[in-house]
Structure formats: C-alpha cells, structure tokens
C-alpha cells in the first residue's frame, strides 16, 4: 500500500526520526520494538528472515527494486529532498524499512544448537558488532551470545555493516553478566578468552573439543578480569618487531576474523 508523504515532519514517519542521534534512537527503538533496515539487499534479508515490516520509506526511483519483496506492506513514498531531510545522510540505495523486533531466544537454546559460539562482552561500537557478525556467519560460527551491556546488533549501522548477517546467525543476550559464563560451561563449552597478552597460549596450538566458545572483549579495555578468570586465555601471535614499535594489538574485528577462521579450520 503506497502513501505519498510530502513533509519530513509528517507524524506517519515517526519511526524514522532523528536517525543520526544514536542515544535517542536506542530508546525509541526499544520502546516501540522496532529496528531499521537500510538498502534493498538488507531489507530483503530481514524480510526473508521473518521480521514483520512495519513500514518502508523510499523514493519513487527505488520503488521498483523493492516491489517483489514488499507485498502489501505500508510504503511511504517521498521526494529525494524529503528523504535527505529525514535521514541527514545519503540513504543506502534509497530505502529504509522499519521492522518489528522478534523476541530473542534464550542463551541456552542458541548454545544448544551450536558447536562454535562467539561471546561478546560489552562491545560498544555498532560497526564492530556488525563486522563480527559478518565474520562469524561467513566462517561457520553457530551462534553469538551477548553480555547484558553489549551494543545492539539490530541497530541500523550494525545491521548495515553486517550486510544482513545479523539475520542469518542466531544470537541471544545473557541476563546475568557475573554468572553468564557458568551456563555455557554447563552446556559443555570450553571457554577461550582472546587476549593480546602474548604470554597466553597461541590459538592455533589449542586442542579444541567439540564445543568451543570464543570470548571477545570491549574495544578499549578488552575482557573483564572476571571473564578472563573464568576462561582460558588464548592469543594471536604478533610480530615481535611490531610489538617493539608499539603496534601491540589488533583491532577487535581483525582479531575476531582470525580467531573465527581458526575455529573453522579445526572444526570437528
């Protein structure tokens, strides 16, 4: 169903307000139970993954590309000028969709269905979250578990950077940070904590059991001492010359990519 809207302030576009204000969007999306998918490809994947469409916002020019996926969804069609006015940035391939969130499964269910997990503690950067989901999905990790305070994989930028991988890999969020790892251990997971500390065992030398959970810490501080203490520290060996020159760590996405690749190479 098409509705033509000519005013960026039209109340029908309330799902799309303040797109550059991360804090406001976080509370707005939580309250209304929605998230935004940007661009035809990502919208298509969100729909394919079963998320109900609340509405789509696009311009006449991009309507045709989306026609087959929209069904009888509510579609707001606006001019390029109104689109720019609403978004405040160039919208990827001219379309945004407001999608309904679905209840997340419990951690136990995601863990039960997988043999390789990535567990993210308190990451704050949505682009990093998206990139790690993309790596984990592409490299055959079976699920992602988030600490209670880890940033939201369905935030627009995370969804976009993941190229929709947030829809294809199951994930869950822990209720309890302090005791969160005990449950995974009880389900038979060996917990490997990735650390830049070169005194840890190199990941490539770890003999891996049937179930492995790879723990990744936040961008600034890495893993908490609580989680490090609960798990086995592993490292990615770095060049001694680079360490001496002060290049003493990898960013979390690069480390996650190498580690997920390591898990896959040695899958049972």
List interacting residues with its own copies (CB under 8 A): 41, 45, 131, 134-135, 137-140, 161, 163-165, 168, 204, 236-239, 241-242, 245-251, 253-258, 261, 264-265
Least distance from C-beta 117 to its own copies, angstroms?
A: 14
Residue 2: enclosing H or E segment and its boundaries? Answer: strand 2-4
What six digits make up the tokens of 118? 């990535």
Interatomic CA distance for residues 134 and 168, integer angstroms: 9
Least distance from C-beta 267 to its own copies, angstroms?
A: 10
What six digits make up the tokens of 25? 């969007």
Q: Cα angle at 207 between 108 and 129, to 5 degrees?
A: 50
Least distance from C-beta 133 to its own copies, angstroms?
A: 9
SS3 for 68-97, per residue? Answer: HHHCCCCEEEECHHHHHHHHCCCCHHHEEE
Least distance from C-beta 256 to its own copies, angstroms?
A: 8
Q: Which is nearer to its own copies, 77 or 169 (CB)?
A: 169
Least distance from C-beta 258 to its own copies, angstroms?
A: 5
What six digits make up the tokens of 109? 């269910």
Closest CA to 89 of 16, 5, 20: 20
Q: Which is nearer to its own copies, 112 or 254 (CB)?
A: 254
Least distance from C-beta 24 to its own copies, angstroms?
A: 19
Interatomic CA distance for residues 102 and 88, integer angstroms: 28
Least distance from C-beta 44 to its own copies, angstroms?
A: 9
Q: Which is nearer to its own copies, 137 or 193 (CB)?
A: 137
Tokens 């309904």 belong to which residue?
100
Q: Which is nearer to its own copies, 2 or 247 (CB)?
A: 247
Q: Which is nearer to its own copies, 110 or 253 (CB)?
A: 253
Q: Which is nearer to its own copies, 174 or 194 (CB)?
A: 194
Rg, the chain, Cα only: 20
- Residue 121 near residue 226 (C-beta atoms within 8 A): no
- Residue 212 near residue 88 (C-beta atoms within 8 A): no
How far lies 262's CA from each of 13, 128, 166, 213, in Å?
Answer: 45, 19, 21, 12
Q: Which is nearer to its own copies, 20 or 72 (CB)?
A: 20
């Amino acid at each position: 169903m098409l509705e033509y809207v000519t005013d960026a302030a039209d109340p029908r576009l309330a799902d799309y307000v303040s797109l550059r204000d991360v804090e406001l969007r976080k509370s707005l999306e939580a309250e209304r139970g929605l998230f935004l998918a940007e661009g035809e490809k990502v919208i298509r994947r969100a729909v394919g993954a079963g998320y109900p469409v609340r509405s789509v916002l696009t311009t006449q020019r991009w309507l045709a590309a989306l026609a087959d996926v929209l069904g009888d969804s509510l579609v707001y069609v606006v001019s390029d000028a109104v689109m720019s006015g609403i978004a405040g940035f160039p919208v990827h391939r001219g379309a945004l969709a407001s999608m309904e969130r679905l209840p997340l499964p419990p951690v136990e269910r995601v863990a039960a269905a997988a043999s390789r997990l990535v567990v993210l503690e308190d990451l704050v950067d949505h682009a990093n979250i998206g990139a790690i989901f993309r790596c984990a999905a592409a490299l055959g990790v079976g699920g992602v578990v988030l600490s209670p305070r880890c940033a939201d994989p369905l935030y627009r930028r995370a969804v976009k950077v993941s190229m929709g991988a947030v829809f294809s890999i199951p994930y869950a969020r822990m209720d309890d940070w302090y005791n969160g790892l005990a449950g995974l251990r009880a389900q038979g997971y060996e917990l490997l904590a990735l650390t830049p500390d070169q005194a840890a065992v190199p990941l490539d030398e770890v003999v891996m059991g049937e179930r492995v959970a790879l723990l990744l810490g936040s961008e600034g501080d890495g893993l908490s001492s609580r989680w490090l203490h609960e798990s086995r520290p592993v490292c990615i060996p770095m060049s001694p010359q680079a360490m001496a020159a002060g290049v003493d760590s990898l960013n979390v996405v690069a480390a996650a990519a190498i580690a997920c690749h390591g898990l896959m190479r040695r899958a049972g």
